[in-house]
Amino acid sequence: LSAILIDNLPFWAEFSSTPSNKTSLMSEWETKILAIVNETKVENVTSFAGVPSWMLVLLNKILDETQSKSLFEVWPNLEVYFHGGVSFDPYREQYKKILPNSDFKYYEIYNASEGFFAIQDLNNSNDLLLMLDYGIFYEFIPMDVFGTNNEKAIRLSDVQLNKNYAIVITTNSGLWRYLIGDTVRFTSINPYRIRVTGRTKHHINVFGEELMVENTDMAIAKACHFTQTEVVDYTVAPVFMEGKEKGAHEWIIEFRKDPENIDAFTKILDDNIQMLNSDYEAKRYNNMTLNSLSINVARKNLFYDWLKKEDKLGGQHKIPRLSNSRDYLEQLLSLQNNNQI
């Protein structure tokens, strides 16, 4: 989407934005990010937009290059960050450190190549207002029947509060009942406001726990806050039951700032997931179905190296947070053990 927009902007738009279109459309990520740093560090940047995880990589490189502690030392007129693509919760505290101004604004937008779906329209709420007049007809599939023989799409007028749905869209640009792969829940019906909760493919429901990315993002943000820890990325996979052994969830987390006590961090994380997800809590009760989660501490740049190995560097690619299989986790563990790309 970013490349399509940049390539079709009117010529005068480039005069008031940075980096240049030529740099923005560079295909090789590592060369591109260095070029972006060199171009933008001397400009009067007042706002920026992008995926929180990748934007943080760029902003930290700018701080390193300019030997600054705060982005306001580089861009004194900076006012607002428009973010989207992945949850902002795991990164919020890290942004506050490099943007130490209580007046600085953060606004979430929810868009994709298929359409522009929702925007944060209130200063005191993270809910997103669903856009009903952008040429998109919405339908929703309840996630409790998604992928089953009972799967059925419902109209917008039939949605219920605080229930997870997969989004189906039909648009005036030619998409017909297209499943975009995101899941949302409604926090308001009048007007329609939503929160993005994850991906239809990225959840864990091996043991009936119905764990969504929204749960793990919020839990890891709380664990980081309590332990003064910073996280770069993470992914989670199930540990399948074998014989009399109970199931569990296995994590691999790359920390920017390590917890002083990984066991304490693990317990806080597990407790917060239980508070946020009653199904997970029920399976964890007295270790009835699930044992406590376990954490592998990733080496520095593990997730970056994995994306590079998969030819997925850049803001359009995100780490799959949750999976019902162990494929992603095993690839990362293998790369960690080999310690090479």
Q: How many helices (H) and strands (E) does the chain have?
A: 11, 13
Task: Classify the phi-psi angles of 167: left when phi > 0, otherwise alpha if psi is within -120 to 50, otherwise beta.
Answer: beta
Give the gyration radius of the chain's Cα atoms. 21
**Selection from 115, 109, 110 nearest residue 171 by Cα:** 115
At 328 the pLDDT is 94
Residue 122 lies in a domain: no
- Alpha-helical segments (H) within 67-142: 71-74, 92-98
Residues 241 and 287 in one domain: yes
- Rounded to two decimals, the pTM is 0.80
**Residue 325's pLDDT band (cuts 50, 70, 90):** very high
Residue 191 DSSP label: T
Count of CA atoms in the C-beta half-sphere (13 A) of 184: 26
State whether 232 and 254 are in the same domain.
yes
The domain tally of the chain equals 3
pLDDT (tens digit per residue) in 218-251: 999 999 999 999 999 999 999 998 877 899 999 9
Judged against a pLDDT cut of 90, whether residue 87 lies above it is answered with no
With respect to residue 121, please indicate whether it lies within any of the assigned structural domains.
Answer: no
Whether residues 144 and 49 share a domain: the answer is: no
Is residue 18 pLDDT above 80, yes or no?
yes
Alpha-carbon distance of 157 to 189, in angstroms, equals 9
Contacts (Cβ under 8 Å, ≥6 apart) of 173: 115, 135
For residue 290, the domain's CATH number is 3.30.300
Q: What residues form DSSP beta bridges with 296?
A: 252
Mean pLDDT of the chain: 92
Mean pLDDT of 198-207: 88
pLDDT at 44: 95
Cα–Cα distance between 12 and 25 in angstroms, integer?
A: 17
Q: How far apart are the first and last CA of the chain?
A: 28
Residue 25 confidence (pLDDT) above 70 = yes
Q: Which of 75, 110, 145 is the last residue of a domain?
A: 110
Cα dihedral 47, 53, 55, 58 in deg (nearest 10):
150
pLDDT number for residue 340: 52
192/217 same-domain check:
no
Better-predicted residue by pLDDT, 338 or 191? 191
pLDDT higher than 80, residue 341: no
| 129: amino acid identity, one letter | L
In a domain, 206, yes or no: no
The predicted model gives 196-206 an average pLDDT of 88
Distance between CA atoms of 281 and 201, rounded to whole angstroms? Answer: 22
SS3 227: helix
Residue-wise pLDDT for 144-182, tens only, equals: 899 889 999 999 999 999 999 999 999 999 999 999 999
Residue 115 lies in a domain: no
Residue 103 CA, chain-centre distance (Å), reads 24
- The vertex-15 CA angle with 36 and 79, nearest 5°, equals 70
Residue 55 lies in a domain: yes
Question: What value does the mean pLDDT take over residues 96-125?
Answer: 93
241, 221 Cβ separation under 8 angstroms: no
Q: In which domain, by residue range, is 164 found?
A: 127-199
Q: Which helix (H) or strand (E) holds 110?
A: strand 105-112
Other residues' Cβ atoms within 10 Å of the Cβ of residue 18: 16
| Pair (184, 225) in one structural domain | no
**pLDDT value for 235:** 96
Q: Are residues 80 and 25 in the same domain?
A: yes
Q: What is the mean pLDDT of the segment spanning 184-205?
A: 92
Give 264-312 pLDDT, tens digit per residue.
Answer: 999 999 999 999 999 999 999 998 889 999 999 999 999 999 999 998 8
Please check whether residues 144 and 188 belong to one and the same domain: yes
Instruction: State the CB neighbour count (10 A cutoff) for residue 291.
Output: 16
Looking at the structure, tell me whether residues 174 and 87 fall in a common domain: no
Q: Which two tokens stand for residue 128?
A: 């997103």
Distance CA 239, CA 296 (A): 13
